[in-house]
């Protein structure tokens, strides 16, 4: 506005009022004052308000999702498994813990399992006759388990009346540096009655407290990790 008045053709009268020049002009309706407007300094306050009950509900729902349920819900079979462990486990002088299998029914209900195990073993030997590397690795596996006491040679005349012959198969992994042959025991192989070893074993609950274990692990400045080898290799 201070420049606009000076650009008009008609002569204007300029006044100075306390360091703030004004231009006045006589128009049809009277005098018109033109010039810049003083800026009034003052503090500005910005305030935003939101009223929404759904936001509180969403936040509450978020915390409920993140909460950890520590309630233990056990059943009868889990209690039986725990009681079985307490009364049957023992520790050998070499530090190994031993516990008998927790069976849910009499093992005599299972039928013949030997024929299936023998057929599976013959299939592995046939594969070994075509692959010398596989045969060497499989032989080393059997020798290692025999040295560790995880298996022993059985005389057929001395076999017990009730037994479960567990077949096994393996995977050859030549690219691995340590375990080139991975052996898997098949406890789910059915007998002639349709029942397997897994079918007559009690199924206990998972007892590893993962949340507490990780929480304790994070408290230490230094920690070590390792792989457990042959944790359950003998039955």
Q: CA 164, CA 113: separation in Å to the nearest integer? A: 6
| 179 is a domain residue | yes
| 32 is a domain residue | no
Q: What is the pLDDT of residues 207-228, one digit of tens each?
A: 667 788 888 888 888 888 877 7
| 121 is a domain residue | yes
| 60 is a domain residue | no
Q: What is the pLDDT of residue 40?
A: 60
Task: Write down the pTM of the prediction.
Answer: 0.55
| 162 is a domain residue | yes
| 158 is a domain residue | yes
Q: What is the pLDDT of residue 136?
A: 92
Q: What is the pLDDT of residue 120?
A: 92
- Residue 115: domain span: 13-20+79-228
Mean pLDDT, each 10-residue run in order, the chain (235 residues): 50 45 54 62 69 69 64 69 90 86 87 90 91 91 88 77 86 84 90 90 76 83 77 55
Q: What is the pLDDT of residue 175?
A: 85
| 146 is a domain residue | yes
| 35 is a domain residue | no
Residue 140: partners with Cβ closer than 8 Å, 6 or more residues away: 181
CA distances to 98, 156, 171, 231 from 88, rounded to whole Å, are 8, 29, 34, 18
Number of domains in the chain: 1
Residue 54 belongs to what H/E stretch? helix 53-66
């Amino acid at each position: 506005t201070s420049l606009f008045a000076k650009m008009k053709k008609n002569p204007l009268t300029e006044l100075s009022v306390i360091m703030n020049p004004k231009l006045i002009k006589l128009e049809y309706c009277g005098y018109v004052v033109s010039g810049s407007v003083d800026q009034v300094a003052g503090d500005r306050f910005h305030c935003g308000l939101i009223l929404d009950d759904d936001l509180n509900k969403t936040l509450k729902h978020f915390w409920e999702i993140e909460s950890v349920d520590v309630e233990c819900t056990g059943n009868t079979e889990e209690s039986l498994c725990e009681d079985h462990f307490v009364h049957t486990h023992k520790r050998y002088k070499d530090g190994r813990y031993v516990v008998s299998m927790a069976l849910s029914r009499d093992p005599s209900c299972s039928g013949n399992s030997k024929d299936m195990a023998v057929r599976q073993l013959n299939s592995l030997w046939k594969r070994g006759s075509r692959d010398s590397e596989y045969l060497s690795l499989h032989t080393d596996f059997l020798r290692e388990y025999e040295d560790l006491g995880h298996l022993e040679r059985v005389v057929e005349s001395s076999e017990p009346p009730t037994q479960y012959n567990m077949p096994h198969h393996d995977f050859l992994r030549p690219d691995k540096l340590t375990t080139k042959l991975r052996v898997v025991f098949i406890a789910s192989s059915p007998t002639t009655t349709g029942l397997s070893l897994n079918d007559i074993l009690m199924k206990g609950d998972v007892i590893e407290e993962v949340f507490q274990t990780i929480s304790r692990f994070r408290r230490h400045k230094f920690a070590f990790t390792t792989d457990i080898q042959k944790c359950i290799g003998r039955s």
